Amino acid sequence: MKHGKPFVVVVLAALLAAAPLFLNAYQVDVLNSIGLYGLLALGLNLILGEAGLFNMGHAAFYAVGAYTAAILNTRYQIPILWTLPLSGLAAGLFALAVARPVVHLRGDYLLIVTIGVGEIVRIALVNDIFGMTGGANGIFGISRPQLFGIVIRRPQEFFYLIWGCVALTIVLFLRLKQSRFGRALNYLREDEVAAEGSGINTAYYKLAAFGLGAAWAGMAGTLFAAKMTIISPESFNFWESVVLFMIVILGGAGNIVGVLLAAFLVIGLPELFREFASARMLVFGLVMVVMMVFRPQGLLPARGGRFSPITLARGRG
Amino acid sequence: MKQQLLALVAALGLAVGGVTAQAADTVKIGLMAPLTGSWASEGQGMKKIVELLAEQQNAKGGVLGKQIEVVTEDDGGDPRTASLAAQRLTTRGVVGVIGTYGSSVTEASQAIYDEVKLPQIANGSTAIRLTEKGFKHFFRTAPRDDEQGRMAARTIDKLGFKKVAILHDNTSYAKGLADEANALLKDQGAEVVFFDALTPGERDYTAILTKLKGANPDVVLFTGYYPEAGLLLRQKKDMNWQVPFLGGDATNNVDLVKIAGKEAAEGFYFLSPPQPRDLDTPDAAAFLADYQKKYNELPPSIWAMLAGDGFRVMVAGIAGAKSTDSDKIAAYLHKDLKDYPGLSGPISFDAKGDREGEVYRVYKVDAEGNFVLQKL
Amino acid sequence: MEEFFQQLTNGLAVGGIYALIALGYTMVYGVLKLINFAHGDLFTYGAYLGLTLLTSLALTDRLGFALGVLVLALMVMGLVAVLGAILERAAYRPLRESPRLSAVVSALGASIFLQNALMLLYGARFQVYPDDILPTATLNVFGLYLPLMRVLIVLASVLMMVALYLFIQKTRIGAAIRAAAIDQGAARLMGIDVNRVILLVFLMGPALGGAAGLMVGLYYGQINFTMGWVYGMKAFTAAILGGIGNIPGAMVGGLLLGVIEALGAAYISIAWKDAIAFLVLILILIVRPTGLLGERVADKI
């Protein structure tokens, strides 16, 4: 199994790269959606999977990025792809600002705080904060992205843009995982007290994970804004955060391949279940439970000894 | 384990890829509707109506000598799902699309249909900007918010109210209508003493009603949807507060009276395109009877009926153009379709794809919970 | 001033419902450290079952209002409790030794399933309780309007909370639940059947949630299949506010959240109401990281 891995990856990547050639527009667009959520989930994976910080408000950072891109594009005519670094920066800084006073909270308290941040952001957007977000209408008329002189509009073209970003992210995050930074995060997740005891600045690393994960969400937001050409607050509601949370945990928190695989399932299955019409979400819910029951560690659990990272610490308060 | 997962992914790919186009011995018309999610009741009503109409049309020989097949996709009532639903419809060989309900949801799909030049007839999307973008193949059987805003201001004037409280629910639609009415009311010299938004989906609005009461308005204009309107009326009655309420067209739903209770709903005014049974067209009466017979209930709302009109107009367009070519259908709908006898009244489209003519009426709920057309 | 007290009573009535639902979250959390995201949907099932039983058995016609509603409440609580136990068995027990977030995802899946099952069973339209069975009197106390039903609802929720509190504090079974919440291993060594404690918690929490659902149906009249999501979120917030795992905390948190919402809407902005509530929650957690009544737990070393 181990030695076959590079081969499998190459075949899968080649298959994926060729997908637009033999799939129709809808199927390619499903893959685009999966890619977008894959990007978002990989960002969340840094926070939730690698550092073990319960974040169920990731859509807030996604929204900050998307709105930054949309505002810069529609008001100042900055080409949408140029806003990528700016919206990443905006989302990252926003995350640092909100996470700083709360990052020390214990698991479930942090969970509700992040849910709260997500809701506050959504409500602020709906209420047209600073007079710039367009309220419930959102922002429309976002221009199509241009890359090397080609205007990207069809799903097939977006496919290469989005999955190019995913590939880049995978390479970057794999390196990050093996770096000192990545190891520090894992240490933090496994045993915060011990990590602190051995000289790791836990607050620094927690914030760094938040900032980086949020920056990724922000950049994914730019891609989303470019793809939809219209964004509105309902695209960033609590449900989006929940979906991302499910992707990361289902994938096996901390495992990049697992997270991508889970993005395929969580975003792909409801599409697959379209044949069930009104019952499609019923089947989807059932499948989620069944998958968790049969793969409690996630589809591909993060590597690491026999001791599971975040076991149910029952009875120890 | 890895093999199993690979097999799973492969199966997933195959299954998504397995949807192939069938032979074109039928004319396929797409329906995009919220079958799941918060607006599922509207979407399921749309589906029932369009399917019944298709059945009836097929019994009469279909269109262009072929049977009509309705292809339904769930837009979930949210923009992202809608964009996927739209992409999927474009690959399923439909010649035109009916739907959908919410304005922002429709908006997410517009560009996708435009890209492949599919005629789209929205049924519940009243936001003004949808037809201001110059899409050549976009139509709607629903009226626009600005028309309704004018009607609201005029109605308040005619009823003689001076101090108006405006309450919306921060959805795209309700906020737009509230803004429109707010500006017009101020122009005509009425005093707007309250302007704020409630959170839809809750049960207890007494805090808001208490605050509203403090502003002491002559009338409350609520531009949101019927579930909240019903609760507001019910809780207002519990407070022994006798202020009249005027609702926008999203309160036109048979469930409004059920939620509020007859006693609390009595005297509630609302604006709406005419109810099918208030039209003297035999078509509408006959259709409602058929609907009742088949589904043993009444259609949930006028919006679902407008999807039915969208379907009929689409069929008329195909028959009139004698073709399933999208440009020809669109051209026919823009120019040649005049005063088509719709379930909701005569239908013609202007150059933008908006429905022509005054559509709005004023209704009042009577003691029996019936919606009675008002002559103002 | 009159408006202030009116808003206070408005908030308390809403908060009473939050508190009842929050108890289910907090009890399950106390014993299992699991956030049962499907709890809000059990609340919805209470509302739907109540409607079905009410209309099909015509209890209030046969037994009169008070007795009829009481019997109805007991039936609903019993049925929702069974549902809760089934949920525990199917979706949570297999995950008991797993990473705790896996159980959270399972709970989310169960929530989606339960919600959509209800939609398919009853249809997507709003369901409405008959409005002619309730006493509609409105009391007028010092210029405050207090509908009789509202007063009854607050009384009923307080009564149930007090009963639960006494049960947990004064009985042997209650002591077992508390023991299992503090240390399951030690509780097991003391001869407590932890599995039965968990089952019991999954019977009691949903029963209270089901009762809350019935009360919402009876009083507000309008129910739909998605309402558990909103109420569930609020109740979870309330449980955290009070200190999750802490039973009096859930009660205080629920009532407080209701009051914060009402006063926020009254004096700041209706449209920002939920944002204000979350902001207050975050501020409280910054000052008291484990909620109002949560114990400060020293990190184990």
User: pLDDT tens, C28-75?
Assistant: 888 888 889 999 999 999 999 999 998 888 877 777 778 888 999 999
Instruction: State the pLDDT at residue C80.
Output: 96
B17: number of Cβ within 10 Å:
13
Q: Hey, what are B197's tokens?
A: 């938004």
Q: Nearest Cβ partner of B35 from A30, A228, A278?
A: A278
Q: Is residue C293 part of a domain?
A: no
Task: Tell me: pLDDT of A281 over 90.
Answer: no
How sure is the predictor about B1, in pLDDT bands with cuts at 50, 70 and 90? very low
Return d(Cα A177, Cα C234) in angstroms, integer. Answer: 37
What number of residues does chain B have? 376
Place of tokens 């709105």: A67
**Shortest distance, CA C34 to any CA of chain B (angstroms):** 26
**Beta-bridge mates of residue B347:** B340
The burial of A193, by beta-carbon neighbours within 10 Å (0-12 exposed, 13-18 middle, 19 or more buried), is given as exposed
Return d(Cα C16, Cα C220) in angstroms, integer. Answer: 14
How sure is the predictor about A43, in pLDDT bands with cuts at 50, 70 and 90? very high
Return d(Cα C135, Cα C83) in angstroms, integer. Answer: 31
Cβ–Cβ gap C102/A119 under 8 Å: no
Task: Tell me: pLDDT of A51 over 90.
Answer: no
Return d(Cα C150, Cα A70) in angstroms, integer. Answer: 47
Instruction: Output A76 or B273, whichever has higher pLDDT.
Output: A76
Element (H, E) at B96: strand B96-98
Helix (H, G, I), strand (E, B) or coil at A114: helix
Task: Tell me: pLDDT of C86 over 90.
Answer: yes
Q: What is the DSSP string of B10-71?
A: HHHHHHHHT--PPPSSEEEEEEEE--SSTTHHHHHHHHHHHHHHHHHHHHTT-BTTBEEEEE
How sure is the predictor about B73, in pLDDT bands with cuts at 50, 70 and 90? very high
Residue type (1 letter), A189: R
Instruction: State the pLDDT at residue A317.
Output: 32
Q: Nearest Cβ partner of C7 from B210, B238, B258?
A: B210
Return d(Cα A291, Cα B8) in angstroms, integer. Answer: 12
Residue C178 half-sphere exposure toward CB, CA atoms < 13 A? 15
Q: Hey, what are A246's tokens?
A: 């499910």
- CATH code: domain B146-272 is 3.40.50.2300
Instruction: State the pLDDT at residue B141.
Output: 92
Return d(Cα A308, Cα C45) in angstroms, integer. Answer: 35
CA angle A190, A191, A193 (to 5 degrees): 165
Q: Nearest Cβ partner of C108 from A102, A123, A246?
A: A246
Best of B205, B231, B259 to disrupt the C interface (most C CBs within 10 Å) is: B259
Cβ–Cβ gap C94/A123 under 8 Å: no
Return d(Cα C157, Cα C163) in angstroms, integer. Answer: 10
Mean pLDDT computed over every residue of chain A = 85
Name which of A85-94, A219-228, A252-261, C105-114 the model is least confident about: A252-261
Helix (H, G, I), strand (E, B) or coil at C91: helix
Return d(Cα B168, Cα B326) in angstroms, integer. Answer: 38
> Which segments of chain C are extended strands (E)?
127-128, 138-141, 144-147, 222-223
Cis (ω within 30 of 0) for the bond into B100? Answer: yes
Cβ–Cβ gap C233/A115 under 8 Å: yes
Q: Are B62 and B27 in contact (CB under 8 A)?
A: yes
Q: Which residues of C touch B231 (CB under 8 A)?
A: 220-222
Q: Are C142 and C68 in contact (CB under 8 A)?
A: no
What would the pLDDT profile of C149-186 be if each residue is shown by its tens digit? 888 888 888 899 899 999 999 999 999 988 888 888 88
User: What is the bridge-based pairing of β-strands B371-374 and B269-272?
Assistant: unpaired
Name which of A222-226, A309-313, B101-105, B245-249 the model is least confident about: A309-313
Q: Which residues of A touch C237 (CB under 8 A)?
A: 112, 115-116
| Chains with ≥3 CB–CB distances under 8 Å to A | B, C
pLDDT over 70, % of chain B: 92
Q: Nearest Cβ partner of A136 from B78, B88, B171?
A: B171
Q: Domain with C231 in it: what CATH number?
A: 1.10.3470
Mean pLDDT computed over A281-294: 89
Mean pLDDT computed over A209-217: 94
How sure is the predictor about C4, in pLDDT bands with cuts at 50, 70 and 90? confident
Q: Is residue C297 part of a domain?
A: no
Helix (H, G, I), strand (E, B) or coil at C221: coil
Q: Outline where A106-154 has alpha helix (H).
A: 107-126
B64: number of Cβ within 10 Å:
15
Instruction: State the pLDDT at residue B201.
Output: 86
Name which of B296-300, C1-5, C142-146, C246-250 the model is least confident about: C142-146
Mean pLDDT computed over B162-176: 89
Q: What's the distance, Cα to Cα, between the start and end of chain B in Å? A: 73
Q: Which residues of C touch A308 (CB under 8 A)?
A: 98-99
A316: number of Cβ within 10 Å:
12
Return d(Cα C35, Cα C14) in angstroms, integer. Answer: 22
Between the alpha carbon of residue C209 and those of residues C38, C39, C42, the distances in Å are 11, 7, 7
Phi, psi values for residue A3, rounded to 5°: -70, -20
What would the pLDDT profile of C111-149 be if each residue is shown by its tens digit? 999 999 998 898 888 888 887 777 767 777 777 777 888
Q: Hey, what are B301's tokens?
A: 């709302």
Helix (H, G, I), strand (E, B) or coil at A153: coil
Return d(Cα C19, Cα C255) in angstroms, integer. Answer: 6
Instruction: State the pLDDT at residue A144.
Output: 86
Q: Which residues of C touch B36 (CB under 8 A)?
A: 116, 119
Phi, psi values for residue C64, rounded to 5°: 85, 165
Give the CA diameter of chain C: 62
Residue type (1 letter), C181: A
R_g (Cα) of chain A, nearest Å: 19
What would the pLDDT profile of C204-257 be if each residue is shown by its tens digit? 999 999 999 999 998 888 898 989 988 999 999 999 999 888 888 999 999 999
Return d(Cα B326, Cα A206) in angstroms, integer. Answer: 56
Mean pLDDT computed over B317-331: 92
- CATH code: domain B24-143+281-347 is 3.40.50.2300
User: Angle between the C39-57 and C227-242 helix axes, to the nearest 10 degrees?
Assistant: 130
Q: Is residue B216 less than 8 Å (CB to CB) from chain C?
A: no
> Which segments of A4-50 are extended strands (E)?
none
Mean pLDDT computed over every residue of chain B = 87
Return d(Cα B1, Cα B9) in angstroms, integer. Answer: 13
Instruction: State the pLDDT at residue C60.
Output: 76
| Chains with ≥3 CB–CB distances under 8 Å to C | A, B
Q: Helix (H) and strand (E) counts for chain C?
A: 12, 4
Q: Is residue C186 less than 8 Å (CB to CB) from chain A?
A: yes
Task: Tell me: pLDDT of A109 over 60.
Answer: yes
Expressed as residue numbers, the domain containing C243 is: 2-287
Give the CA diameter of chain A: 61
Q: Which residues of A touch B5 (CB under 8 A)?
A: 261, 299-300
Q: Is residue C54 less than 8 Å (CB to CB) from chain A?
A: no
Q: Is residue C132 part of a domain?
A: yes
Q: Are C232 and C43 in contact (CB under 8 A)?
A: yes
What would the pLDDT profile of B74-92 be if each residue is shown by its tens digit? 998 888 889 889 989 998 8
Return d(Cα C194, Cα C149) in angstroms, integer. Answer: 39
Return d(Cα B219, Cα C277) in angstroms, integer. Answer: 30
Return d(Cα A154, Cα B361) in angstroms, integer. Answer: 43
Cβ–Cβ gap A282/C113 under 8 Å: yes
Instruction: State the pLDDT at residue C57.
Output: 83
B251: number of Cβ within 10 Å:
28
Q: Are C41 and C109 in contact (CB under 8 A)?
A: no
Please give the torsion angle defined by the CA atoms of residues A132, A137, A143 and A145, in that order, rounded to the nearest 10 degrees: 100
Return d(Cα B230, Cα B250) in angstroms, integer. Answer: 12
Number of structural domains, chain C? 1
Query: Of the candidates C159, C123, C130, C138, which has an alpha carbon nearest to the alpha carbon of residue C59?
Result: C130
Q: Which residues of A touch B175 (CB under 8 A)?
A: 135-137
Between the alpha carbon of residue C224 and those of residues C45, C46, C75, C147, the distances in Å are 10, 12, 20, 23
Instruction: State the pLDDT at residue A225.
Output: 92
> Which segments of C180-265 are extended strands (E)?
222-223
Place of tokens 């797409």: B30
Helix (H, G, I), strand (E, B) or coil at B214: helix
User: What b/e readout covers B270-295, taking b as 16+ CB neighbours within 10 angstroms?
Assistant: bbbbbbbebbeeeebeebbeebeeee
Cis (ω within 30 of 0) for the bond into B206? Answer: no
R_g (Cα) of chain B, nearest Å: 22
Q: Is residue A229 less than 8 Å (CB to CB) from chain B?
A: yes
How sure is the predictor about C19, in pLDDT bands with cuts at 50, 70 and 90? very high
Q: Is residue B198 less than 8 Å (CB to CB) from chain C?
A: yes
Highest mean pLDDT: which of A91-100, A247-256, B284-293, C183-192?
A91-100
Between the alpha carbon of residue A206 and those of residues A38, A188, C298, the distances in Å are 22, 8, 20
Instruction: Output B280 or B334, whichever has higher pLDDT.
Output: B334
Domain with CATH 3.40.50.2300 in chain B: 24-143+281-347, 146-272
Return d(Cα B303, Cα B181) in angstroms, integer. Answer: 21
Return d(Cα A45, Cα A26) in angstroms, integer. Answer: 28
Element (H, E) at A70: helix A58-76
Best of B6, B8, B36 to disrupt the A interface (most A CBs within 10 Å) is: B36
Task: Tell me: pLDDT of B163 over 70.
Answer: yes
Closest residue in A to B179 (Cα) is: A135
**Shortest distance, CA A147 to any CA of chain C (angstroms):** 39
Instruction: State the pLDDT at residue B276.
Output: 65
DSSP structure class, residue B250 = G
Query: Of the candidates B8, B41, B4, B209, which has an alpha carbon nearest to the alpha carbon of residue B124?
Result: B41
